[in-house]
Amino acid sequence: MKQEDYGPVSGSTIFGGISGRKSIIMAANTRITTVARGIFQAAKDTDSAVFIELARSECDLKGGYTGLTPKDFSARINKAAHEVKFDIWALHADHITIKKGDSAEIEQTRLLIDAQIAAGYTSFAIDASHLFNFEGKNVREELEQNIRVTTELAHYIKSGMKGKDFGLEVEVGEIGRKDGDGLILTRPEEAVEFIRALRANGVYPHVLAIANGSTHGHVYDDKGNVVEQLSIDIPQTRAVAKALRDNSLGTGIAQHGITGTPRELINQHFPKGDIIKGNVGTFWQDVVFDTFKVYEPGLYKDIQEWTLDKYRAANPGKKDRQIFDGNCKFAIKEFFREIYSVEEDTEQAIQAMAYAESLVFFKAFSSYGSASLVRDRVV
């Protein structure tokens, strides 16, 4: 059935549509929403389903660091989808992060979820992975708080959605957390225990974010240069996916932190179908700022100076490039008005770049044709 208003479809419908396929659906964190039109146009032209998302840090009731509330974000993305006339996309709340799990934080989180539901979100990622108990005597004890908080919030979302389907992502193993030996990776038995416990509580996640070697944003060498690499541990990821499958838990993997991973490596080596959702965030911000370098050099310089002035002192020994890359996201709110009032040819260039880059992601993720599979299920 044709969806006339081009509003978001449920994340669960997208995951259902690609079930059994060797596809990854791109989830784009559009911190600067100008890129959304280009992404949607590429999705339409390649018949690719897509998620558009922002994390709690990026978008909350106070605007996060992008300056957008859930309502603002939803309005902008809906407008872009409507202009392009693209129908198979989900509006996703990435990283609804809970760090302490106390009642005050849970209450704040409920208010955020209320706003996301009111704004028409169709998919949610509860991230209570920080609540890992290092003193736990077994896997269950280590995950107890994560299970408790994830269960509570998942039920809260369900009641707020009033019978409407939604996508649900949960997280075990904090992405990017390190110990003395390097990144801590999620073990298959952790993933199985976590999902099994949630299901026993009546919570049925479609996707699970795991710590499997990726980090958010760019990766740097000792000299402060950007490293392009395939940092995710493919065998570990496959082992987690296999363990979930062997236990009939019906949950795919959400891969976070894809920026910086060369697309030819994704295309050739990512376990598509084990990984079913691929988050690309920082990359889209880079598209905008790289375009500004040429089209809006004055604005780019202002953003650069503001960021370096503000964050240099806190980052001794780091190169300016790394300080800028790591902190320029905080300039989005500061320069909100300027960023969204650039010349039309600047917007055109950003959207054309976003379009071309999306084509390459969709190809590397093998998501061409996925929108039609989902469309058959949309009623």
Query: For binding to Zn ion (CB under 5 A), which residues are involved?
Result: 256
Scanning the structure block, which residue is given the tokens 């240099």?
Answer: 312
Residue 189 CB, nearest distance to Zn ion (Å)? 23
Min dist. Cβ of residue 270 to Zn ion (A):
16
> Under DSSP, is residue 55 helix (H, G, I), strand (E, B) or coil?
strand
Structure tokens that stand for 216 in this block: 């958010």
**Amino acid found at 307:** T
- Of 87 and 171, which has the nearer Cβ to Zn ion? 171
Chain residue whose CB lies nearest Zn ion = 256
Residue 227: phi and psi, rounded to 5, are -110, 130
Do 182 and 215 touch, CB atoms closer than 8 A? Answer: no
- Please identify, using beta-carbon distances, which residue of 99 and 301 lies nearer to Zn ion: 99
Contact yes or no for 266/237 (Cβ under 8 A): no
DSSP 35: G
* Rounded distance between C-alpha atoms, residue 240 and residue 266, angstroms: 18
Question: Quick one: 255 or 291, whose CB is closer to Zn ion?
Answer: 255
Q: Please state the closest distance from residue 379 (CB atom) to Zn ion, in A.
A: 31
Strands 275-280 and 25-29: parallel
How near is the Cβ of 259 to Zn ion at its closest, in Å? 10
Residue number with CB closer to Zn ion (70 or 217): 217
In 3D space, the residue among 373, 376, 360 whose CA is nearest the CA of residue 38 turns out to be 360
Task: Specify whether the CB–CB gap between 55 and 94 falls below 8 A.
Answer: yes
> Shortest Cβ distance from residue 256 to Zn ion (Å)?
3
Cα 136 from Cα 26, distance rounded (Å): 35
Nearer to Zn ion, 211 or 373 (CB): 211
- The three-class DSSP label of residue 252 is strand
Q: Give alpha helix (H) positions in 18-69.
A: 36-46
219 vs 308, which CB is nearer to Zn ion?
A: 219
192, two tokens = 């199985």
The 3-state DSSP class for residue 255 equals strand
Q: Let me know how long the chain is.
A: 379
Task: Look up tokens 């910086």; give the residue.
Answer: 260
CA gap 366, 196 in Å, rounded: 29
- Nearer Cβ to Zn ion, position 43 or 207? 207
User: CA dist 143 to 19, 146, 150, 189, 219, Å?
Assistant: 28, 5, 10, 11, 28
Sign of the Cα pseudo-torsion (44, 47, 48, 50, in order)? positive
Query: Closer CB to Zn ion, residue 44 or residue 256?
Result: 256
256 vs 277 by CB, closer to Zn ion: 256
Q: Which is nearer to Zn ion, 210 or 373 (CB)?
A: 210
Question: Where do we find the tokens 């990726």?
Answer: 214
Measured from the CB of residue 82, what is the shortest distance to Zn ion in angstroms?
A: 27
Shortest separation between residue 207's beta carbon and Zn ion, angstroms: 12
Taking the complex as a whole, the smallest distance from the CB of residue 276 to Zn ion amounts, in Å, to 15
Q: How far is the CB of 216 from Zn ion (least distance, A)?
A: 6
Give me the least distance between CB of 159 and Zn ion, in Å please.
26
